[in-house]
Structure 1
Protein backbone atom coordinates (compact mmCIF):
# COMPACT_ATOMS: atom_id res chain seq x y z
CA UNK A 1 0.00 0.00 0.00
CA UNK A 2 1.32 3.42 -0.98
CA UNK A 3 0.14 7.02 -0.98
CA UNK A 4 -0.86 7.90 -4.54
CA UNK A 5 -1.85 11.55 -4.13
CA UNK A 6 -3.06 14.24 -1.78
CA UNK A 7 -6.78 14.94 -1.84
CA UNK A 8 -7.48 18.66 -1.61
CA UNK A 9 -5.23 21.57 -0.74
CA UNK A 10 -1.94 21.12 1.08
CA UNK A 11 -1.62 22.42 4.65
CA UNK A 12 0.50 25.30 3.35
CA UNK A 13 -2.24 26.23 0.84
CA UNK A 14 -4.73 26.23 3.74
CA UNK A 15 -2.61 28.71 5.69
CA UNK A 16 -0.26 26.59 7.82
CA UNK A 17 2.94 28.58 8.28
CA UNK A 18 5.06 25.44 8.56
CA UNK A 19 2.98 23.29 6.23
CA UNK A 20 3.69 20.36 8.52
CA UNK A 21 1.14 20.35 11.34
CA UNK A 22 -2.28 20.27 9.77
CA UNK A 23 -4.89 17.66 8.83
CA UNK A 24 -4.44 16.01 5.46
CA UNK A 25 -6.21 13.45 3.25
CA UNK A 26 -4.47 11.02 0.89
CA UNK A 27 -5.68 8.51 -1.69
CA UNK A 28 -3.97 5.12 -1.38
CA UNK A 29 -2.90 2.72 -4.09
CA UNK A 30 -5.71 0.30 -3.14
CA UNK A 31 -8.35 3.02 -3.56
CA UNK A 32 -8.83 3.66 0.15
CA UNK A 33 -8.09 6.97 1.87
CA UNK A 34 -5.77 7.84 4.75
CA UNK A 35 -6.42 10.81 7.02
CA UNK A 36 -4.08 12.74 9.27
CA UNK A 37 -6.05 14.39 12.02
CA UNK A 38 -6.27 15.01 15.73
CA UNK A 39 -6.85 11.79 17.67
CA UNK A 40 -10.17 12.11 19.52
CA UNK A 41 -11.24 8.55 20.28
CA UNK A 42 -11.41 8.99 24.05
CA UNK A 43 -13.55 12.11 23.73
CA UNK A 44 -15.92 10.98 20.96
CA UNK A 45 -16.21 7.20 21.40
CA UNK A 46 -19.16 7.51 23.80
CA UNK A 47 -20.82 9.99 21.43
CA UNK A 48 -21.08 7.54 18.53
CA UNK A 49 -24.69 6.84 17.48
CA UNK A 50 -26.15 3.45 18.39
CA UNK A 51 -25.72 2.15 14.83
CA UNK A 52 -22.00 3.08 14.66
CA UNK A 53 -19.13 0.98 15.96
CA UNK A 54 -15.36 1.20 16.15
CA UNK A 55 -13.06 -1.81 15.98
CA UNK A 56 -10.27 -2.10 18.54
CA UNK A 57 -7.67 -1.08 15.93
CA UNK A 58 -9.69 1.93 14.67
CA UNK A 59 -9.44 5.49 15.95
CA UNK A 60 -11.67 8.53 15.65
CA UNK A 61 -9.78 11.49 14.21
CA UNK A 62 -10.85 15.07 13.61
CA UNK A 63 -10.02 17.03 10.48
CA UNK A 64 -11.03 20.62 9.95
CA UNK A 65 -14.12 21.47 7.94
CA UNK A 66 -11.92 23.45 5.52
CA UNK A 67 -9.73 20.38 4.90
CA UNK A 68 -12.70 18.24 3.90
CA UNK A 69 -14.47 20.92 1.87
CA UNK A 70 -11.32 21.72 -0.10
CA UNK A 71 -10.85 18.00 -0.77
CA UNK A 72 -14.37 17.51 -2.13
CA UNK A 73 -13.47 18.40 -5.73
CA UNK A 74 -10.62 15.83 -5.74
CA UNK A 75 -12.66 12.89 -4.40
CA UNK A 76 -13.55 10.54 -7.27
CA UNK A 77 -17.22 9.76 -7.97
CA UNK A 78 -16.52 6.01 -8.21
Structure 2
Protein backbone atom coordinates (compact mmCIF):
# COMPACT_ATOMS: atom_id res chain seq x y z
CA UNK A 1 0.00 0.00 0.00
CA UNK A 2 1.34 3.41 -1.02
CA UNK A 3 0.15 7.01 -1.01
CA UNK A 4 -0.88 7.90 -4.55
CA UNK A 5 -1.93 11.53 -4.11
CA UNK A 6 -3.14 14.22 -1.74
CA UNK A 7 -6.76 15.28 -1.93
CA UNK A 8 -7.29 19.02 -1.65
CA UNK A 9 -4.92 21.76 -0.63
CA UNK A 10 -1.66 21.26 1.23
CA UNK A 11 -1.58 22.22 4.92
CA UNK A 12 0.59 25.21 3.98
CA UNK A 13 -2.03 26.36 1.44
CA UNK A 14 -4.62 26.15 4.25
CA UNK A 15 -2.49 28.37 6.49
CA UNK A 16 -0.48 25.88 8.55
CA UNK A 17 3.01 27.33 8.29
CA UNK A 18 4.19 26.00 11.66
CA UNK A 19 3.35 22.31 11.30
CA UNK A 20 1.22 22.48 14.43
CA UNK A 21 -2.04 21.74 12.58
CA UNK A 22 -1.65 19.61 9.49
CA UNK A 23 -4.81 17.58 8.81
CA UNK A 24 -4.55 15.89 5.44
CA UNK A 25 -6.32 13.35 3.21
CA UNK A 26 -4.53 10.93 0.88
CA UNK A 27 -5.72 8.40 -1.70
CA UNK A 28 -3.93 5.05 -1.41
CA UNK A 29 -2.85 2.65 -4.13
CA UNK A 30 -5.55 0.16 -3.12
CA UNK A 31 -8.29 2.79 -3.52
CA UNK A 32 -8.73 3.45 0.21
CA UNK A 33 -8.05 6.79 1.88
CA UNK A 34 -5.74 7.75 4.73
CA UNK A 35 -6.46 10.70 7.00
CA UNK A 36 -4.15 12.70 9.25
CA UNK A 37 -6.16 14.39 11.96
CA UNK A 38 -6.64 14.95 15.65
CA UNK A 39 -7.24 11.70 17.57
CA UNK A 40 -10.63 12.04 19.29
CA UNK A 41 -11.70 8.47 20.07
CA UNK A 42 -12.13 8.97 23.82
CA UNK A 43 -14.02 12.21 23.27
CA UNK A 44 -16.42 10.95 20.58
CA UNK A 45 -16.77 7.19 21.13
CA UNK A 46 -19.86 7.54 23.33
CA UNK A 47 -21.36 10.01 20.83
CA UNK A 48 -21.54 7.47 17.99
CA UNK A 49 -25.10 6.75 16.84
CA UNK A 50 -26.55 3.34 17.75
CA UNK A 51 -26.03 1.97 14.23
CA UNK A 52 -22.30 2.90 14.19
CA UNK A 53 -19.51 0.78 15.59
CA UNK A 54 -15.76 1.01 16.04
CA UNK A 55 -13.43 -1.98 16.24
CA UNK A 56 -10.74 -2.00 18.93
CA UNK A 57 -8.07 -1.28 16.32
CA UNK A 58 -9.98 1.69 14.82
CA UNK A 59 -9.77 5.31 15.96
CA UNK A 60 -12.00 8.33 15.49
CA UNK A 61 -10.02 11.08 13.82
CA UNK A 62 -11.15 14.69 13.37
CA UNK A 63 -10.12 16.85 10.43
CA UNK A 64 -11.06 20.46 9.91
CA UNK A 65 -14.08 21.36 7.83
CA UNK A 66 -11.80 23.32 5.48
CA UNK A 67 -9.63 20.24 4.90
CA UNK A 68 -12.58 18.16 3.72
CA UNK A 69 -14.25 20.92 1.72
CA UNK A 70 -11.02 21.70 -0.13
CA UNK A 71 -10.60 17.97 -0.89
CA UNK A 72 -14.13 17.60 -2.27
CA UNK A 73 -13.13 18.41 -5.85
CA UNK A 74 -10.48 15.65 -5.75
CA UNK A 75 -12.70 12.89 -4.33
CA UNK A 76 -13.68 10.51 -7.12
CA UNK A 77 -17.38 9.84 -7.78
CA UNK A 78 -16.71 6.13 -8.20
Provide TM-score, normalisation by structure 2. Answer: 0.96
Change (3 A) 1:66 1:14: same
What is the aligned partner in structure 2 of residue 36 from structure 1? Answer: 36
CA-based RMSD:
1.1
Counting only pairs closer than 5 Å after superposition, residues 59-74 of structure 1 correspond to structure 2 as 59-74=59-74
1:21, distance to aligned residue in structure 2 (A)? 3.5
Cα deviation for residue 36 of structure 1 reads 0.2
How many residue pairs align between the two structures?
78
Q: For 1:34-67, what per-residue CA distance to the aligned partner results, in whole angstroms no more than 9, with x for missing partners?
A: 0000000000000000000001100000000000
Q: Tell me if structure 2 keeps the 8 A contact 1:11–1:20.
A: no
User: What's the TM-score, normalizing by structure 1?
Assistant: 0.96
Structure 1 gaps of 5+ residues are: none
Q: Which aligned runs of 4 or more in structure 1 are off by greater than 3 angstroms?
A: none
User: Using the alignment, how far apart are the partners of 2:57 and 2:9 within structure 1?
Assistant: 28
Aligned to 1:76: 76
